[in-house]
Structure formats: structure tokens, C-alpha cells
């Protein structure tokens, strides 16, 4: 049985976020075919990499991966990248970069950016969350070959899909949910203002265990989600669609115009295929 080493800043045991849930879902599916090893970026050593040169590496979020380790991986192993945001930018968002520095992002041209260009360029495959994200990367990171790019989208485990299916027809109240987040990109204040401007009854949600959050959403009329910059394939919006919620969103939800997101049935069908698609093509 071949080995896949998953490398990430955090896994679900460390933090339950959308990226970590997607990583865990693809790991769960791959367990049927591969031996799985998890390594946090900060715990990845030169000895480990050299001792596992025959393994396949999948690099997920890598903000804490040193430039030296990136070059080590480039030179020694077969690796793929699952890209959740925009790590060619130091803020992981071109819009956030502009908001903070009042200049357009040119991070790919500085020293760290050049290492990242090499790192993306040497990847055997890059898995993106949406078509828009893929196009932005190809435009900005010229070392990337389009033939090596795949759109994966957010990924759900079989268990979570089954759970979503079991609560999708719950009776709904008249409230819209707003994610109470300190993240700049999630734009909590803007979402609250949208609710007030449109006389929408709303409730802020924060810190609920994952399945409790899904139950809460299943009994709510809708979701207000208007990020300030490109959000590549926000999981909460997909969950809202599968649970039959009305969604107040903007163009920064980058998967919003993809065919699979046109209705609840297409969304559920597509999401049911993604983990297997990764396993068969990794």
C-alpha cells in the first residue's frame, strides 16, 4: 500500500475550520487506498522528508512551512498542493493586501514570493477550490501550468453528507444567520448592516460545535455572507444551499456561478463526488 503524507499548518485535531474539514474529508476517503501520515508544517523535518522520498506528499495550508522546507520538498519528493486561499500573497488575499497597504499585491515578486513561485511551479498537481481562484492563480503565478490544475471545491465526508441529508427538511424560522467572526474577509459588520438595511431578522453565531451549527442552520430561514475579498469556496455557503436556506451573498463568493451550485439537488450530487474524485486522481 502506497503512502500519502498530508502536510498542513493545522488539522481538525488542532482547529475545526473549513479548510481543515475539507482536508479531513479527503484523508478519510484516501484511507481506503493509501497508508496515511499527517505532519504539521512546523514538525516536518529534513530527515523525515528524505526518509519518505518514495511517498506522495499532499501539501495543504502551508503558511508556517519554512522556505528551506519548500525547497527541500521541491528537490526531493513528488508533491501536490491543495490551495484553499491565496498564499502567493502575504495576506492570503489580494483585497486585504490593498485594504491594509493601499497598494496592489505584488508579493510574488519579493524574495518569499519567488520561493512560493518555485514551490507552486514544482507541484505535480494543484487542487483549487473554484474556477475563479484557479484563473487568478494562473494569471499571477506564471510558474503554474494549467494542465496541472484541478478544481476540487470544498469537500465533505460521507458522514457529514448523510447528516446534512437527515436535517435538510427541518422546519425553518424567520431568522438569517450571520457568522460572528473576527476575520477581516468574513465582513461580519457589513453583513449586520445588510440585515438592518433590508429589515432582515438575524442572529449572530459563533463557536458552535460543527453539527450543532448545521442543525442551527437547518432551522434558519437563511444566511447572510458577504466577504470583503475573494472567498474561494466557503463551506458555510455550500451547507446553506444543501439545507435549503436563502442566501444573501456577493460576488466575492467565488464558486457562486458554477453549475453545481445552481440548486440544492445539484449541489448535493456534486459534493458527494468530490472526495472520491480526489482519491482517484491524487
pLDDT at 111: 79
The three cell numbers of residue 92 are: 492570503
Does 198 lie in the same domain as 163?
A: yes
pLDDT level of residue 268 (50, 70, 90 thresholds): very high
pLDDT band at 95 (very low <50, low <70, confident <90, very high): very high
pLDDT higher than 90, residue 112: no
> Containing domain of residue 224, as a range?
158-272
- Residue 113's pLDDT band (boundaries 50, 70, 90)? confident
pLDDT-derived band at 224, boundaries 50, 70, 90: very high
Q: What percent of the chain has pLDDT over 70?
A: 100
Percent of the chain, pLDDT > 90?
A: 97
Buried b (16+ CB within 10 A) or exposed e, 238-258: bbbbbbbbebbbeebbbbbeb
The DSSP secondary structure of 242-268, one letter per residue, reads HTT-EEEE-TTBTTTTSGGGSSHHHHH
54 and 91 both lie in a single domain: yes
Interatomic CA distance for residues 125 and 209, integer angstroms: 33
Residues 20 and 97 in one domain: yes
**Long-range pairs for 143-146: beta carbons < 8 A, 24 or more residues apart:** 143/117, 143/118, 144/120, 145/121
Q: What is the CATH number of the domain that holds 98?
A: 3.40.50.2000
| Domain identity same for 111 and 236 | no
Report pLDDT for 210.
94
Same domain (yes/no): 96, 24: yes
Q: Are residues 151 and 261 in the same domain?
A: no
Q: 27-57: per-residue pLDDT in tens?
A: 999 999 999 999 999 999 999 999 999 999 9
98-107 as b/e, with b when 16 or more CB fall inside 10 Å?
Answer: eeeeeeebeb
Looking at the 3D structure of the chain, how many domains does it have?
2
**Helices in the chain by DSSP H: which ranges?**
18-30, 46-51, 67-76, 94-101, 111-122, 131-140, 158-167, 188-197, 210-218, 235-242, 264-281
Residues 148 and 172 in one domain: no
Name the phi and psi angles at 145, rounded to 5. Answer: -95, 130
| Sole residue written with cell 479527503 | 26
| pLDDT for the residue numbered 25 | 97
16 and 133, same domain (yes or no): yes
CATH code where residue 178 lies: 3.40.50
In a shared domain, residues 183 and 164: yes
Q: Are residues 10 and 147 in the same domain?
A: yes
On the 0-12 / 13-18 / 19+ scale of CB atoms within 10 A, 130 is buried
124 shares its domain with 165? no
Domain match, 15 and 114 both: yes
Read off the pLDDT of each residue in 231-258 and give the average, rounded to a whole number.
97
CA distances from 26 to 16, 61, 65, 68 (A): 15, 14, 21, 27
State pTM to two decimals.
0.95
Average pLDDT (95-99) is 97
Amino acid at each position: 500500500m502506497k503512502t500519502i503524507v498530508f502536510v498542513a499548518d493545522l488539522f481538525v485535531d488542532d482547529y475545526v475550520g473549513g479548510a481543515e474539514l475539507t482536508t479531513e474529508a479527503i484523508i478519510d476517503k484516501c484511507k481506503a487506498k493509501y497508508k496515511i501520515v499527517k505532519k504539521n508544517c512546523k514538525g516536518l523535518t529534513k530527515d523525515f522528508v528524505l526518509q519518505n522520498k518514495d511517498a506522495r506528499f499532499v501539501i495543504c495550508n502551508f503558511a508556517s512551512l519554512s522556505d528551506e522546507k519548500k525547497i527541500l520538498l521541491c528537490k526531493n519528493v513528488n508533491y501536490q498542493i491543495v490551495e484553499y486561499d491565496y498564499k502567493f500573497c502575504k495576506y492570503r488575499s489580494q483585497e486585504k493586501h490593498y485594504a491594509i497597504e493601499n497598494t496592489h499585491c505584488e508579493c510574488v515578486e519579493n524574495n518569499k514570493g519567488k520561493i512560493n513561485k518555485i514551490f507552486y511551479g514544482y507541484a505535480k498537481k494543484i487542487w483549487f477550490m473554484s474556477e475563479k481562484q484557479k484563473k487568478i492563480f494562473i494569471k499571477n503565478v506564471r510558474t503554474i501550468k494549467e494542465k496541472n490544475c484541478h478544481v476540487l471545491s470544498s469537500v465533505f465526508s460521507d458522514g457529514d453528507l448523510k447528516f446534512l441529508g437527515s436535517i435538510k427538511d427541518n422546519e425553518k424560522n424567520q431568522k438569517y444567520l450571520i457568522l460572528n467572526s473576527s476575520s477581516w474577509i468574513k465582513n461580519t459588520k457589513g453583513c449586520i448592516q445588510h440585515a438592518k438595511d433590508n429589515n432582515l431578522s438575524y442572529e449572530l453565531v459563533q463557536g458552535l460545535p460543527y453539527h450543532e451549527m448545521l442543525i442551527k442552520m437547518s432551522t434558519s430561514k437563511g444566511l447572510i455572507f458577504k466577504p470583503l475579498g475573494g472567498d474561494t469556496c466557503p463551506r458555510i455557503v455550500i451547507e446553506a444551499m444543501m439545507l435549503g436556506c436563502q442566501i444573501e451573498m456577493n460576488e466575492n463568493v467565488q464558486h457562486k456561478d458554477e453549475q453545481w451550485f445552481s440548486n440544492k439537488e445539484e449541489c448535493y450530487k456534486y459534493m458527494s463526488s468530490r472526495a472520491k474524485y480526489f482519491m482517484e486522481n491524487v
